Structure 1
Amino acid sequence: MTDCPVPLAPTGAPPVPDHVPAELVLDTRFANGQAANDLPDPYTPTDILRDPAFPRIHYYPWPASGNQHGAWVVTRYEDIQRVYEDNDLFSTEGVAQFQRLAGETWPSIPLGIDPPDHSKYRKFLNPWFTPVAMKKMEPRIRAILAEMIGQFADRGEVDIAYDFGRVFPVRVFLDLMGFPFSMFDQFLAWEWDILHEPAIETKAAAVQGILAYLRGFIAEKQATADESLGSYIANGSIDGKLLTPEEVLGMTWFLWLGGLDTVASTISQMYRRLGMDPALQASIRNNPEIIPTAVEEFLRVQPLVNSGRKVKRDFIWHGVQIKAGDWVTVFNSSGNFDEAQFTDPHKFDAERKANRHFTLAGGIHLCLGAHLARRELRCLLDEWFRRIPEFRIKPDTDTTVTPGLLSIRNLPLEWQVDN
């Protein structure tokens, strides 16, 4: 460890369990979506985590994976894959359980449920997120895009992050769930406090606010059913049994938490890259048939979330003692650029084949909304390049990005408008 290219966690970092070797407690906050930079590829700092001198597993002492404690971290592709796929060793129990801050004990469903029960909840929800279901949703997605792009196409400028990216996917999600658009600002405020505000009191108040709202929303859908996913869950049954109140709330809460800002952050970083690369714009504009693989590559080079799992039993990994109850976080921010898996990983290849990245997680807990996210991004690029000519980031714009869910708050673009 004398040659480790990353420093030890500083004095004042949170304490760690007794069985964690002090030399493995490292300061890798820069790879966990918290440290901003202005690099053309903002994820290049994570390359150091795959240096031969960097340990295969280390300990991150700060709160991780939605918990209030630290976690072991793996950074190589094959180790990340093991965490996602070895359900006998790693559990999702307690993942992103922000509801505990409000004294709630029910799980987020289906993410917080292990096999075999996980499959029944996934089967219940899957029909709403299949490619067939997305094809049915596509006309509505394109209608929203046409309306929104039409509002600024002739102006020659837009803040793609704040005025468009922040709004478009949320409108799609609100429609899907049956939430009123009047809740847009309040939803985003609650979610910001839950995910990004450090004060526990602030997080807890936001959780209490959204759960009170969701309980009222569920009651309304049970009183007056409609064709929305929210109503389907509120009135749902599995194997002939009505869902319990906690099952209904667990699913509705989980979808709310995951449906608001992941695609928004992806859009912001996607347009930052496009705005810096006219040749990439031209390639997609002139070859729209590559949009599906281009979207997959945008997803790969923009991993937003580093997921966590709870360890079920004691075991030794890479010579390190891991104990039952410990947490392991995977740094997708590193694994998506692992040279052992991806040829020339920092090259943006809009036609990359076999692009098995971890941006949408992996294993049985692969993101439920993966097909929806892909469809939104594909439709966006298709509609955008039909309407908007070559564009650039407005001069003197601060292009600093936080490579994670925080992403970019504002990104003004401009283009020439023919009179």
Structure 2
Amino acid sequence: MTSPALHRRLGLGDAVFIGLGSMIGAGVFAVWAPAAQAAGAGLLVGLAIAAVVAFGNATSSAQLAAAHPTSGGTYAYGRAELGPWWGFVAGWGFVVGKIASCAAMALTFAAYVAPPGGERLVGIAAVIVLTAVNWFGVTRTAGAARVVVVVLAALAVAVSAAFAGGAASGGLSAGSLWSGGLYGILQSAGLLFFAFAGYARIATMGEEVRDPRRVIPRAIVIAFAVALVIYAVVAVAVLSALGPAAVAASAQPVADAAAHSGWAWVDIVVRVGAAAASLGALLALVAGVSRTTFAMAREGDLPRYLGAVHPRWHVPHRAEVSAAVVIVILVASVDLRGAIGFSSFGVLLYYLVANLAAWRQHGDARRYPRALQVVGAAGCVVLAVTLPWPSVVAGAIVAAIGIAYRGIRLRVSRAA
């Protein structure tokens, strides 16, 4: 019996915009406060560390995607290069981590557009609407993500306003970069890693990209480089305008930094940009989770019911709806900052497997030095264990549950 397959419809521009839609919205309006709580101005050092680790992971993902142009990302790569158990660990880490990311993005969107007290209802509505958009095909998803990234021009206005307002007292200095200590800086790096994880979204679309061996590696590197520049500029602008203590205490640090200019009209611009960026990330993340769930179901690591492709729209519709149900439950119950930490743990586990799988590749499959895979793998371990301890504990428990599930399923299958 032939496995269901997806249609190849995306080009380089589509893939880059989808990756940017995941990365830019995933943290630029949400991650500064928890990072500043961990390290103060040292979050800039944390951002640099997160970028180095993320670049190692991105090159591993690009190398693997070129050799294995199929859906599922590191779930598929881990199975091919290391074996089924490694692939399952990667896929499980991705699914649970990205579902938490989806909840964080829905809550971020709602924080900027919902009336007081209505945040969770608005977040739930956003998840339902964007799941419907994904249902009608990946080309529509790509087009919507492109529109969202264009709207992020509003972020440039907010950054300009932040710089125009001048530097806050007690802002940035060379000495303040180390005030959070090594542990605080590493913790901020783990939280900021959440911002860069969107390039995995590109790799999960291996069956939907034209000429994936060429397009996917290029799209990953381009999207990562653009996102890094944007995050660095925003970080400096926010810290300069508010100072580390005010950033740590703010629920909306980008909006507060822009307001420092005194330009009254900037607030609405920031809110529109934040809403659009969060929706773009949520749109891409829901699609990415469903594609990995689809790939795992197709291999029997999740219920095979989830491995169906819609006969008309050619999307994994059952996987999308199932993921949306779990995301809605989380939006109704979780805290934004906890969601970021838990998401980072799951995604770091995913990329640990990616680096190990890329290390195993030989010959023509190799595109990057093995040193990058060493940096990526070691960085994933260090950042994962230095996240806030509730995130580490919750992540370890959920990982153990997934491993236990697969072990029981295999035992039952052998006994049948």
* TM superposition score category, shorter chain reference: under 0.3
From the CA coordinates, give the structure whose radius of gyration is larger. Answer: 1
* More strand, by proportion: 1
* More helix, by proportion: 2
TM-score with structure 1 length normalisation? 0.25
Q: Which is bigger in relative contact order (C-alpha 8 A, separation at least 6)?
A: 2
